[in-house]
Amino acid sequence: MFRRRNGEIQVPVLEPPAEGAVRVTWIGHAGFFLQFADHTIVIDPNWARWHGIVKRQREPGLPIERIPELDLVLVTHAHFDHLHKPSLKVLQARDGIVVPKGSGSLVRKLGFPEVHEMKVWEQLELDELHILHTPSHHWGARYLHDTHRDYGGYLIEAGGKSVFHCGDSAWFDGFAEIGRRCPSIDVALMPIGAYDAPSGRDVHMNPEEAVRAFAEIGAKIMIPMHYDTFPLGNEEPGEAVDRLLQEADRLGISKHILIPEEGVGIEW
């Protein structure tokens, strides 16, 4: 079951989409399976049942054993819910794994043929696959005093289509710069949950801020993420999506918001 807002929606298949298309499948939390005609990518894969005392509330949309050999794995930052080593160990990627600068040591023993560490605004080109590491307002520590690791999001381009994964971020004025540097984003994957953090830290956007960020980026459609999978904030289940849709309706941009269930492929 899913709510349709715009674009072509279908149950995902493992065969690649047609030339000039991209298929986006939400695995759950911040994890996505991206399929272009000639490339496949996974971002922030996480099939964990628990993170410490926090239990997963929703089933992953794709079984990990069904993920085919990939071109590349991307990790936005070193937090345990985004860089999940047991999930990463299972995946196979021909061109290796991409992590922010400072996090290479965390993934070097996980079996990938190559580890690419990227600085903010650095680009990586692999055949017809283009990766740009974008900034965010968050932090990248794996452990308490771990201050040397970068963090951010990624713009992925292949086959004439582009997908922006925001990573974790609070609101900051850098979204306008992302929009200026990346003027033709097709799909923006934006976090909307954990905004009422128990720590009180300003590190995640609320749904209204996510809509504002999406507008500043100027992408064609928005798919929300980072909500209702792991209860990392004090908001109620369903609250983030309700607020997102209310704000989109208020601004008259509801047709640009897609809210799939896990495992449902959105082809654009």
Angle formed by the axes of helices 239-251 and 207-217, nearest 10°: 50
Q: Residue 72: beta bridge partners?
A: 41
Confidence (pLDDT) at 64: 92
Residue 188 CB coordination number (10 Å): 28
pLDDT string in tens for the chain (268-residue length): 333 444 444 445 678 999 999 999 999 999 999 999 999 999 999 999 999 899 999 999 999 998 999 999 999 999 999 999 999 999 999 999 999 999 999 999 999 999 999 999 999 999 899 999 999 999 899 987 888 899 999 999 999 999 999 999 999 999 999 999 999 999 999 999 999 877 767 789 999 999 999 999 999 999 999 999 999 999 999 999 999 999 999 999 999 999 999 999 999 8
Query: Two tokens at 17?
Result: 């989409």
Residue for token pair 């605004």: 121
Confidence (pLDDT) at 12: 53
54-55 and 50-51: which strand pairing?
Answer: antiparallel
Q: Where are the domains of the chain?
A: 8-267
Note the residue count of the chain: 268
Give the DSSP per-residue string, 245-264.
HHHHHHHT-GGGB-BPPTT-
Confidence (pLDDT) at 146: 86
What CATH number is given for 8-267 in this structure?
3.60.15.10
Confidence (pLDDT) at 14: 78
- Using DSSP's 3-state secondary structure scheme, residue 152 falls into coil
Sign of the Cα pseudo-torsion (42, 232, 169, 163, in order): positive
List the Cα angle 153/154/156 in 5-degree steps.
Answer: 160
Query: Two tokens at 27?
Result: 């695995």
